[in-house]
Amino acid sequence: MSVLNLNAQTRQNADANRANMLQFFQYLQGIKDKDAILKYITAMAYIENLYVDSVDTQKMTEAGLRGMLEKLDPHSTYATPKEVQAFNEPLQGEFEGIGVSFNILEDTLVIIQPIINGPSEKVGIIAGDRIITVNDTTIAGVKMSQEEIMKRLRGPKGTSVKLGIMRSDIKDMLTFTVKRDKIPVKTIDAVYMIRPQIGYIRIGKFGATTYTEFVEGMKELKKQGMRDIIIDLEDNGGGYLQAAVDIANEFLAADELIVYTKGRVIQRQEFRAKGNGMMKEGRVVVLTNEFTASAAEIVSGAIQDQDRGIIVGRRTFGKGLVQKPVELSDGSMIRLTIAHYYTPSGRCIQKPYKKGEKEAYAHDLDDRFKRGEFTNADSIHFADSLKFETLKKKRIVYGGGGIMPDYFVPLDTTRYTDFHRQLAAKQVIVNANLKYMDKNRSQLKKQYKTFDDFNARYQVPESYIKTIFEEGKKKKIEPKDEEEKEKTLSYLRPQLKSLVARDLWDLTEYFHVWNENSDIIKKALEVLETDTAK
């Protein structure tokens, strides 16, 4: 960087700091009870100077901040610099590292897939490789934490790391030097044609690159003849507001309201469609469940309220509070709630809460389950005061937290047995999958040249299932009776086939297989076949 550019950057940083300080002093002037602030500072000064033992002022300050914010709403939080980085990374669209997806099998890092055209793939690292050493330090078999392993593998773009790798068909350890690079983080899990003329896009989260990924997916599906679309927002916890607004814009006419925000101090701010979307025609079905939240609820609410499409699934989480990130001098951050989200009809997305009662808020989904809300739509009760109308067809919708779907699909608690839950919790299934792929990957790749061929012909071997049951038995996990065993198998077989598809290809292929067993997907297709998603 030239001296001129450096000076310009320094001036820019100084201007930003000056603006932040001015804003801070403005807020300070607005504090009604300045004695309360003075009380806090006085207490900290006396503790640091007079307390009988030495104190960690940094930890005390953080505890004080967390304590203050805990008295507010459930989503106002304090985060350390490390926590800020962990929170932001999945949303920013990239990180710097070696470019592999992996899992830990018996205390050893096993590569599931190297990122296509990523730094690891470029030097010849392949799926199934085991990383034994990093820069001559052994990481396998030494009970090193995953966090510590990640710290050793990641690093600034352009730096190099030496990896010692064991490969199943080679006796000696291989050595690869990988130059770290920027690794893209995908926020869209799957894009494919689920039926002729019906496209499917599953959005995992709303990040900095989500809209670009979404548009690329839409273009590809349109090339394949897509007329209607299923947008899968199940388990999507939200993310960036702007990404949600941009995606909703693709389906709405000019000037149609997408969402608005309003707070005690923050004036109403509206986000409207520009009218330049790629899919203002064609039917739209949005899939939701109890883990669909925040930005995902903005898209769902806009599509429903504007009568642009149909919502299928279960009532969403109900996270409709707007946070302002306040960066502190050491890189830590306060995420302070400043407003609520409202759908176009005026519904507040946020479910009710009591200030300072975060534990009760955290157990809300458990309470919904116990009340039968996941299995029976009649168990969900709305007061008449929460009744709203959609903007064109005047259909009845309800506020009071979350988005209630137009077509409710109950959670089938009978399919997911206790036996299966225990196998999953004790990592029997994931470990069996890693071992199976490690042993059979090369043969499977030779046998199935394309995913379509795999999807049509592959059957989960009985020996594979037998291995899982035997491993479960060793951990004292067994089915109660033959009925539970058969129910577990009906769920386990498609799950294992989906995992094999993922490891041979990617998440698109995983969902291509798994979705055929999803009740929510089946209902969405039924809705489209009966021509009601208009």
Residues with a catalytic annotation lie at 294, 305, 319
130 - beta bridge partners? 110, 166
Token pair 């979307």 is found at 277
DSSP letter (8 states) at residue 351: P
How many Å apart are CA 250 and CA 275, to the nearest integer?
Answer: 8
Angstrom CA distances, 100 to 110, 376, 381, 419, stand at 10, 42, 46, 32
Tokens of 484: 């539970």
For residue 95, give the nearest of 209, 200, 211, 191 by alpha carbon.
Answer: 209
Angstrom CA distances, 39 to 35, 53, 377, 489, 490, stand at 6, 22, 51, 63, 63
Asked if 262 and 338 count as a contact pair (C-beta separation under 8 A), the reply is no
Asked if 400 and 382 count as a contact pair (C-beta separation under 8 A), the reply is yes
How many Å apart are CA 362 and CA 74, to the nearest integer?
Answer: 8
- CA 216-222-227 angle, to 5 degrees, is 130
102 - beta bridge partners? 111
For residue 73, give the nearest of 373, 348, 403 by alpha carbon.
Answer: 348
Asked if 514 and 495 count as a contact pair (C-beta separation under 8 A), the reply is yes
